[in-house]
Amino acid sequence: MPSATPSSLFRAKAKVILQVTSGNFLEQFDFFLFGFYATYIAHTFFPAKNEFISLMMTFGVFGAGFLMRPLGAVVLGAWIDKVGRRKGLIGTLSLMAAGTFLIVLVPGYETIGIWAPLLVLSGRLLQGFSAGAELGGVSVYLAEMATPNRRGFYTSWQSGSQQVSIMAAAALGYMLNMTLSEPVLHDWGWRIPFAIGCLIVPFIFFLRKNLNETVEYAQRQSHPTLKQSISILLANWNVVIAGMFMVAMTTTAFYLITVYAPTFGRKVLHLSASDSLLVTLLVAISNFIWLPIGGMISDRIGRKSVLLAMTALAIVTTWPALRMLTHAPDFSMMLGVLLWLSFIYGMYNGAMVAALTEIMPEEVRVAGFSLAYSLATAIFGGFTPAISTALIQYTGDKAAPGYWMSFAAACALFATLYLYRRVSQHHFGTDKSFG
């Protein structure tokens, strides 16, 4: 039997990456749409006399979905650690699809009253519960199938798939803004992208159905029960909490430069919806480029150097960059500032995902990763649009979101220093690039 050629191995790996990351695409596609169409969703489901209150209620529901992530991380993450990566990823996709269908089909407040916001909230909670383990399941799968010493590169495609979804959502939104009138978009046109997200669900199910189990998981002799998983997580609580703070930088930066950026461009900078969408599309392309580069560099020089360098840059430059933007709010300046933040985010996250898979105990790798990531998303990233809106409202500083991202970066910096000190003492991690 002839040996596999490098090109055939590459195609096989690329096929697996597509299969496993397809659910990530759907998750971020819907999350981005919720953020971009927040003003329309606010009008449809959360009408109020004060536009600020209406928008805050919408972002509150958006953030509420993230509060379900830690629960999903523990319950679904432990389930994936027990039943396998393939079966678990099909399960999380099923729950995600159900939440998406619910949001698309719910009539507005004027039609069914209080049931409208309650059903939308239910859809978001269901999405959040499934997403709690989705990222962890995907990241761990990629880490376990990765070529030796290339874990950073392979795991970077977890986030890379999210950028493709942002590109697709932004491009679709841009086309709708060019073809539909504002009243049509306001009334029902905003639902079209969500409906398209529902239509691609069967294709994603087909991809994941043909996914193989990872060799590393299949060779494991025993798998913990939910009770055992919780015990292991509690015994390693300091690793999970430090991991949460390490993720804080990633999740805050991502939701700031993608989900919140279109609303920031329209409501704060008073740019057109089309310009805001175009900037977001270009930022997603930039993210897509920097993520694998960050992963590859961390494979060569170690995760720690990349993580520390990027958190330091975020602390020092985020607020000044946003301050420059708010003083000269045009398309070119918004693009330049967000591309700079995209570089910081992409390089950091390219190294961080691999590092997080490496510090978690092997028996609860999915549950541990998912819990750390979900806690960070619930506390930091998911409420970034709401916190940014509130900071601007109450400080009068349009660049105030920079304070929030700098704070998250500082948390990540100290968490990284703590974890690597712990690694050197306990010899955690199996990949030499971790240090």
- Write a three-state SS string for 378-395: HHHHCCHHHHHHHHHHHH
79-113 burial, b at 16+ Cβ within 10 Å, e below that, comes to bbbbebbbebbbbbbebbbebbbbbbebebbeeee
Domain count, the chain: 1
Asked whether residue 29 is domain-assigned, the answer is yes
DSSP state of 185: I
Q: How far is CA 31 from the centre of its chain?
A: 9
Alpha-carbon 299 to chain mean position: 22
pLDDT at 110: 82
Domain assignment of residue 161, yes or no:
yes
Q: Terminus-to-terminus CA distance in the chain, angstroms? A: 39
Q: What is the CA radius of gyration of the chain?
A: 21
The pTM for the full model equals 0.81
Residue-level pLDDT at 294: 96
The pLDDT averaged over each successive group of 10 residues in the chain (435 residues) is 59 79 76 73 75 74 78 85 79 82 82 84 85 81 81 88 83 83 83 84 80 73 80 91 95 88 83 82 92 95 95 97 92 93 96 91 85 88 84 91 96 94 59 46
Distance CA 2, CA 8 (A): 12
Angle (nearest 5°) at CA 7 between 148 and 88: 55
In a domain? residue 9? no
pLDDT at 229: 84
Amino acid 6: pLDDT: 60
pLDDT value for 100? 80
Q: How far apart are CA 41 and CA 54, in angstroms?
A: 9
Alpha helices in 37-84, H assignment, sequence order: 38-45, 51-67, 69-83
Does any domain span residue 4? no
Would you state the pLDDT for residue 430?
43
Name the 3-class secondary structure at 308: helix
Domain of 231, CATH number, reads 1.20.1250.20
> What is the pLDDT at residue 431?
45
> Per the domain annotation, does 319 fall within a domain?
yes
What one-character DSSP code corresponds to residue 84?
Answer: -
In a domain, 307, yes or no: yes
Alpha helices in 84-150 (DSSP H): 85-105, 109-112, 115-145
Helices (H), ranges, 302-364: 303-327, 331-359
Backbone angles phi, psi at 329, to 5 degrees: -75, 80
Per-residue model confidence (pLDDT) at position 35: 67
In-domain check, residue 351: yes
**Residue 1 lies inside a defined structural domain of this protein:** no
How far from 329 is each of 119, 401, 402, CA to CA, in Å? 37, 15, 15
Domain holding 290, by residue range, is 19-209+222-434
* pLDDT of the residue at 300: 94
Query: In sequence order, which residues have a C-beta less than 8 Å from that of residue 412 and are 6 or more positions away?
Result: 245, 246, 247, 248, 249, 250, 307, 311, 348
